[in-house]
Structure 1
Amino acid sequence: HPQHVYEGDGPEIKHPSGVGIEKEKYPPGVEGVPRNNEISNNYIDGAGVLFHGQNAIMAFFVEGLRITHNTVRNIPYGPISVGWSWWNFNGDSDSIIPGIPTRVAGNNQINYNRLIDYGLVLTDTGAIYLLGSMPGTTVNGNYVVASSKYMLNAIHPDEGTSGVTGRDNVFDIGSMNNFELNDWGRKNNIHFDNTYTTSRTVRLGAPNVSVTNLRVHTSGIWPVEAFEIIENSGLEPEYMDLAPLEEVILVARSVVDAGSRVPVKLPKSFSGSIWFAPMDTQEFKPGPNMTKADLDKGVIYAPMEAGPYKLFALDDQGNIIMQSKGTLLCK
């Protein structure tokens, strides 16, 4: 329950005005923190259109929660929100219960999600919003796309957030803020490394926080290392049929060596064919500027000729059913 910042409060924990266990909703041994749950491989488009303040995926006091490989897009507010309570349950001398910090959240994984177009109505959030202490929590391998807006961030740790690390995230966010790590609400001990982004903006100031290896590509044309992260995000191959192909295959722009193996994520069950070819190609035949995927092996190579290419999906009859949003630039 979001109000239960302590699990199974015993008589030693006295809330304001001396209220203790006799006023708790559940006695010790009955109440429990949700543990070791999983939210994975979901395709969520347009959640929160009636109640704009609702996040698409939202969890309060949780431990061992895995939010992985989801694709969330077109959200009025935020795609993912994890955590509850402000700093004032951290056990400090001026907190609600001095000397007894809340320990009911932690070891959560918010990894490999694809979060596209959020903050469409409300801001003061991020693609991933965090609140409160959650030691051991990771934010890895996520791909975020959004238009720059006031008070909108890629990752937004809010009051009291602590114990979070993240790495290998890719942000296509214009000039928007990457990380909200300002000195507000006693957030602390938050560290992010190896971020690929279009923006140089980072708000720092909180104690014991860091952003290292911020790799800025203002053009949004990604090196192959970032491209691999993008392709690994979102729905896994077994679940790619939940979404339109153009939302899951080659959604970004990347530069690769001509003739190299391209780390494109291919659907597990697809009876047609998939090709790299110049934009608006109508006839497909292997050659120096056209390559076909080996779907059995899940492999496709870049064309040998330098230039820009799209990824095409053809049905069993050879009809084009998709031309990718993203572009492969061969050099």
Structure 2
Amino acid sequence: MSKHRVAAGALAAVALAAGLVVSGTAEAAAACTFYVSASGSDGNAGTSPDRPWATLERARDHIRQHGLNKDMRADLRVCLRGGRHTRTATFNLAEADSGSNGFKVVYQAYPGETPIIDGGKAVTGWKRVTDRPYFVADVPESAGYADYFRQLYVGGRRAQLAMGKAIVGSGFFDEASIPNPPANPERPTRSYDGVQFPAAGVPAYTNVRDIRLLHIAIGFKIDYFPVVDISASGANKRVRLAQPHFQARLNRDDGFSLDYDDTFYVLNAFEELDSPGEWYLNRATNKVYYHPRAGEDVNQAGAYVPVVETLVNVAGSSPSAKASAIAFDGITFEHGNWLLPRDRFIGGSQAEAQYADDPFKDPNHDGYGGEVPGQIKLTNTRGITFTNNTVRKMGSGGLQLLTGAEDVTVTGNLFHNLTAAGVIAGRWMDVHVDGARRTRNVTISNNVVTDIGDDFFPATGISLMNTYNVAVTHNLVHDTAYMGFHQRKAEEHSLLDGADGIGKTTFSHNEVYNATSKVSWGVHDSGAVYSFGSWPGSVVSHNHVHHSTSTANYYSDNQSHQTRWDYNVGQGGRFDFSPRYRQPLSVYASHNYTDFADNWLGGAIYDGDGRPHVVTDGAWPAEARTIMNQAGLEPAYAGLRWKVPRENLADHSTVSQRSAWNSDLGKLWDGVTDTAEASSNVNESWVQFDLGADYEQFAFTIQQDNCCTWMTTHWKVQRWSAGQNAWIDIMPYQAINTTAPVVYRPPADLATTNIRLYVRNSNQNGKVGVQEFSATGVRK
């Protein structure tokens, strides 16, 4: 081998480790054993880039049939060429597809190309509905569309399911003609068929069976109920909900998390299709409707809906016959479906733990009976690696490690635009399994997890249930609906110590922000970093939590046992060590820092340097600043931070300075236009955004509502000019006198790394407020 070739190979290895794209050199291409292309043919040889196979199954079966993965002497690499590899069914791998002799069977991107394993289908032929602002397209099952889906993606963005305004019920009701379920012998039950509302809040909806009722209560119980019927009853409308789900949920053990005077929203009603970016599915007619955003052409932007549920399933046949030594590298997975909400309710949950159909048959008697699924599943596996991949635009979660998944490495991936957590590890029901069936020995490091839970408000970033020896380190987790990191075991009071038990989680050196993003919807009883129950031997250390919208940055909750919380920094939120602790107290903490004065500290022993240090006026000591600087992605993976496309350049991730805004500044990006505003106690305020790179082709959108007296009368945007060493107006102050979104596009193109929004109130009280602000642009 020539010296030149050695140098090129070394350079490629360094670039891959840094998360960079390597060009398709001859040397890199030669590493491929087989080739798969969306434009290939399964009749080809599959052994050269210009004669690829068409399907992953052809590659899998060829390896299996010829025994190529037996007694291996090198990795077998199946290289996927760029483009969409459209799936109509799950890609399955079993123990027969394992690597051997310390080598792996690798499914990877062809060097320099981006293959997409796509479980969805494009929606085309959109037509404008006469005299209406929305478009319609056909999605019949006969053409390959799923009979049910909860997502529509337009231009890569998740559209909002048509939604009504918040309504509050006036009572439960029991239909005399509908038999009540059998009484629960263990305790009294409530027997109702649905919720009634004042008639003015519930229009005359058509296609009722496709409607879902979103319920939010006590800060963390969120439900999505299928609607069976809506009928008039005097001054009320009765919304009948599907059984047995409503009955089971109504009578869950706490007895107070579902009541008629909670907050409800109607989802997927044609009559609520009234705002840009909303969509509606009519399953009776197999038609989908979409209300385009300002300036958007839905046919040009491209629209997709999910079809296939579970894109990849790696499963050994038993704990003693595991699928092993398989790797996925550099592949994009998108548009996976989730069919369970078609026929039953989802929710009643904490994070990704799902409420059971019949909780009284649940052997743990806690109401939970499973988890939100992931789209890449591992069951009875050993030595699986998942690196440099992108998992996005999913109708459920991302990567799910189920029963018997062990020795798993998850590094350098992007998980974004998902319904549920990027990584879900452990089964809720796997409490008393033996070691071979425990989800254990897992490394989750240097991943970006973001934009989680827009259509499932209990969603988290990384979620553990009944696992052992999981290390979650140096990840960047942000913009998640409910929590950034969550761990909860099925039996609150059990210990299950030892190698076959539950615990020994390491959560360290992670950066977590805006990890409780649905607070503005009433989802507030949470923590950015959260642990519930006994997880002996677990350590939470050297993490940086900031820009959290919930008051709890770090939350050690019920029955916590034998854990440590050390060297953590929390900005804008408290340390919450719950007094609902196990006796004798065995939660320890030291060297923690916060700028939140009202911390809840009854549930921990403060050894070392004592209780969390409360910092004022941003005077963080050297130790705290070191923790902040070392948290998050390591240098080799730092480029991943900007790889996820951001719908709004002006959000939590880019705020760097501000003037006199109050603590509700996060409402500038909450997506809610009927509750409250971000506000300031002076009549002119600004907020600065550092975009991380030069952007151009800007568009700025501002919106306010009539909820408050602090109305903006004028707004402008500035950019930083390094050449002039000054802030320069992109636009002069513009008057605003409407509650509709107002869009400004600069008449001349420009590029900048920093922008400022200025707002002014010329009329009211010397104060000013804004409902929503967004900035879009193209990276230069």
Give the TM-score category using the shorter length: 0.5 to 0.7
Residue pairs, 1:37-116, within 5 angstroms = 37-90=442-495, 104-116=501-513
Q: 1:42 Cα deviation (Å)? A: 1.0
In structure 1, how many angstroms separate the alpha carbons of the residues matched to 2:621 and 2:656? Answer: 11
Q: In structure 2, do the counterparts of structure 1 residues 192 and 228 end up closer, same or farther at CA, with 3 Å as the change threshold?
A: same
Alignment partner, residue 630 of structure 2: 232
Name the CA distance, whole Å, in 2 between partners of 1:75 and 1:81.
11
CA-CA distance at 1:88 after TM superposition: 3.0
SS at match of 1:57: strand
Measured after TM superposition, the shift of residue 4 of structure 1 is 2.3
What is the SS of the residue equivalent to 2:638?
A: helix
What percentage of residue pairs aligned between the two structures are identical? 23
Q: How much has 1:216 moved relative to structure 2?
A: 1.5
The answer to whether the 8 Å contact 1:153/1:179 transfers is yes
Quick one: distance in 2 between partners of 1:104 and 1:324? 51
Structure 1 position 172, deviation (Å): 0.5
Partners of 2:629 and 2:753 lie apart in 1 by 17
Q: Equivalent residue for 2:432?
A: 6
* Structure-1 separation of matches of 2:751 and 2:542: 31
Q: Secondary structure of 2:493's partner? A: helix
SS at match of 2:433: coil
Counterpart residue identity of residue 3, structure 1: M
1:168 aligns with 2:567: yes
Q: In the alignment, residue 64 of structure 1 is paired with which amino acid?
A: N
More strand by share: 2
Q: Report Cα offsets for 1:17-54 as digits up to 9, x if no partner.
A: xxxxxxxxxxxx7x521221111111122112221112
Of residues 196, 201, 210, the one that matches 2:606 is: 210
Corresponding residue of 1:33: 438
**What's the counterpart of residue 25 of structure 1?**
none
* C-alpha separation in 1, matches of 2:441 and 2:629: 26
Tell me which residue corresponds to 1:158: 557
What SS class does the counterpart of residue 44 from structure 1 fall into? Answer: strand
Instruction: Evaluate the alpha carbon distance shift between residue 251 and residue 196 of structure 1 in structure 2; reply closer, same or farther with a 3 A threshold.
Output: farther
Amino acid across the alignment from 1:43: V
CA contact (8 A) 1:172 1:220 kept: no
Distance 1:65 1:169, change over 3 A: same
Q: Distance in 2 between matches of 1:187 and 1:119?
A: 31
State the match for 1:142 in structure 2. 543
Mark the CA change 1:106 to 1:252 in structure 2 (over 3 Å): closer, same or farther. Answer: farther
Q: Do the aligned partners of residues 85 and 68 (structure 1) sit closer, same or farther apart at CA in structure 2, a change above 3 Å counting?
A: same
Which structure has more RCO (C-alpha within 8 Å, separation ≥ 6)? 1
SS at match of 1:118: coil
Equivalent pair of 1:87/1:187 in contact (CA under 8 Å)? no
Distance in 2, matches of 1:61 and 1:232, equals: 29
> Radius of gyration: which is bigger?
2
Deviation for aligned residue 1:180: 2.8
Structure 1 residues 214 and 185: CA distance shift in structure 2, 3 A: closer
> Is 1:282 aligned to residue 701 of structure 2?
no
Write the letter of the residue equivalent to 1:236: E
Using the size of structure 2 for normalisation, the TM-score is 0.27
Equivalent position amino acid for 2:428 in 1:
P
Q: Which moved more, 1:33-42 or 1:208-217?
A: 208-217
Tell me which residue corresponds to 1:301.
none
- After TM superposition, give the deviation of residue 202 of structure 1 in Å: 2.4
Mapped to 2, the partners of 1:251 and 1:57 lie a distance apart of: 24
Instruction: Tell me how many residue pairs correspond in the alignment.
Output: 234
Task: List aligned pairs for 1:175-194, cutoff 5 A.
Answer: 176-183=573-580, 188-194=585-591
Distance 1:225 1:323 in 2: 29
Quote the RMSD (CA, aligned, Å): 3.6
- In structure 2, the CA distance between the partners of 1:102 and 1:182, relative to structure 1 (3 Å rule), is farther
Q: Residue in 1 aligned with 2:621?
A: 223
- How much has 1:140 moved relative to structure 2? 0.6
Cα shift at 1:117:
0.8
1:198 Cα deviation from its structure 2 partner:
0.3
Partner secondary structure for residue 72 of structure 1 = strand
Per the TM alignment, residue 221 of structure 1 is displaced from its structure 2 partner at its CA by 3.9
Deviation larger for 152-161 or 72-81: 152-161
Q: Alpha-carbon deviations, 1:162-220, whole Å to 9, x = none?
A: 111021111101xx4312332357694111111111012222334x6337242221323
Q: Which residue number corresponds to residue 414 of structure 2? A: none
Unmatched segments (≥5 aa) in structure 2: 1-426, 644-648, 658-718, 725-749, 757-780
Task: Check 1:88–1:137 CA distance in 2 against 1; reply closer, same or farther (3 A cut).
Answer: closer
Indicate how the Cα distance of structure 1 residues 242 and 282 shifts in structure 2: closer, same or farther if over 3 A, else same: same
Q: How far apart in 1 are the matches of 2:637 and 2:566? A: 25
TM-aligned CA deviation for residue 283 of structure 1: 5.2
Shift of 1:232: 0.5
Letter in 2 for 1:171: G
Using the TM superposition, give the Cα deviation of residue 230 of structure 1 relative to its aligned residue in structure 2, in angstroms: 0.7
Q: Look up the SS of the partner of 1:89 in the other structure.
A: coil
* Cα distance in 1 between the residues matched to 2:641 and 2:563: 31
Say whether 1:131 aligns with 2:557: no
CA distance in 1, matches of 2:600, 2:469: 28
Q: Distance in 2 between matches of 1:53 and 1:102?
A: 31
Q: What letter is aligned with 1:219?
A: D
Question: What's the secondary structure of 2:527's corresponding residue?
Answer: strand
After superposition, residues 258-273 of structure 1 pair within 5 angstroms as none
Aligned residue in 2 for 1:310: none
**TM superposition shift of 1:85:** 2.5
